[in-house]
Amino acid sequence: MSSVQIRDVRKSFGNFEVLHGVSIPIEDGQFVVLVGPSGCGKSTLLRMLAGLENITSGTISIGDRVVNNVQPKERDIAMVFQNYALYPHMTVAENMGFSLKLRNAGSDEISKRVKRAAEILALTPLLDRYPRQLSGGQRQRVAMGRAIVRDPQVFLFDEPLSNLDAKLRVAMRTEIKELHQRLKTTTVYVTHDQIEAMTMADKIVVMHDGIVEQMGTPLELYDKPENQFVAGFIGSPAMNFLKGHIRVNGVATFEGPNGVKLPLKSAPAASDGKPVVYGVRPEHFTIADDGADAEIVVVEPTGSETQVFAKVGGEQVVAVFRERHQFNPGDKVKLKPDPDVIHLFDEATGKRL
């Protein structure tokens, strides 16, 4: 196992810079998830870690070794891709042992390692099958098995679950997490799915347009997003944003679209009149007599909770209630954000206030 240090890494393809100085410290044994919208540069960064792309500037170290000029096969990492093509003419055991065979490992050593990986991944009864005789989830486990047998210092995963159906994705997510708890191998995992990031990561790195917007534990990012981008990206359904101004007149309030007034616990010094974006997570609305006027648009009960779309000051917001309400479209209700947990962002810079 090893720590990984990414220091001020830049990447250009021709004249086009896609990573603009990215620094990410990764501790030994940490499970780090790189997340961000399509094109933000997360796969490129992972490929640079793997040695499949060169580094335009900056350094990447694995353990205490700078690996910028180290060949992929010398880096002691194993990568699991989205397209985990297994060799169709090889059994599960042969697929799993193949990389060791290429490295001239002895057949006893190969069979010992394959057996151990198969036990960890519950693949033992399937070792003699061919890929075509496996389900999608089993194939994905074989792909992970190929990585595990190598006992690398670092695992790299590039959207390994995106070809699986929703139910299997959730199950595999848990398996990968369990696997990590067991092996404690330093892991860098790329996804554009923020739920995957939230549920799996020790540390999430939110990327956007070739920079790191924020990194932290899932709950740090959820509770204290440093800017509006992270606030909108982490959380599902997404945080509601309303544009308006701070009003300080004895007490501080937020004055939103069409004069709607929403509570503030406090306001930054001398902020009367400041243009801001008011952020409320859907679960932080309650129904209260002193709430803002709202009109229900759509009600979506899921059994465990109810998702309600409503208009506040003419803007659509989404609220999630754990308790059951008998709402109908067109109903007038009073919605109140919990002032203790609202988020304020500078309208011009998007930074958290």
Which residues in this chain contact ligand ATP in the complex, by CB under 6 A? 13, 18, 36, 38-44, 192
CB of 18 to ligand ATP, least distance (A): 4
In the complex, the smallest distance separating the C-beta of residue 179 from ligand ATP, rounded to whole angstroms, is 23
User: Min. distance of Cβ 190 from ligand ATP in angstroms?
Assistant: 7
Nearer to ligand ATP, 13 or 87 (CB): 13
Q: How near is the Cβ of 42 to ligand ATP at its closest, in Å? A: 4
Work out how close the CB of 49 gets to ligand ATP at its nearest, in angstroms, rounded to a whole number: 12
Task: Return the number of other C-beta atoms located less than 10 Å from residue 147's C-beta.
Answer: 23
Nearer to ligand ATP, 113 or 203 (CB): 203
Task: Give me the amino acid identity at 310.
Answer: A
Nearest one of 91, 112, 118 to 100, comparing CA atoms: 112
Question: CA-CA distances (angstroms) from residue 13 to 68, 94, 263, 310, 350?
Answer: 17, 37, 48, 45, 29
State in Å, rounded, how far the first CA of the chain is from the last one.
39
Of the candidates 221, 225, 238, which has an alpha carbon nearest to the alpha carbon of residue 319?
A: 238
Of residues 43 and 271, the one with the C-beta less far from ligand ATP: 43
Residue whose C-beta lies closest to ligand ATP = 43
Contact 184, 1 (CB under 8 A): yes
Round to whole Å and give the CA distance between 44 and 115.
Answer: 33
Backbone phi, then psi, for 145, in 5-degree steps? -60, -40
Q: Would you tell me how many other CB atoms lie within 10 Å of the CB of residue 192?
A: 19
Smallest Cα–Cα separation from 145: which of 99, 83, 202? 99
Token pair for 183 = 């092996």
Instruction: Kindly state the smallest distance separating residue 72's Cβ from ligand ATP, in Å.
Output: 16
Q: Which is nearer to ligand ATP, 70 or 211 (CB)?
A: 211
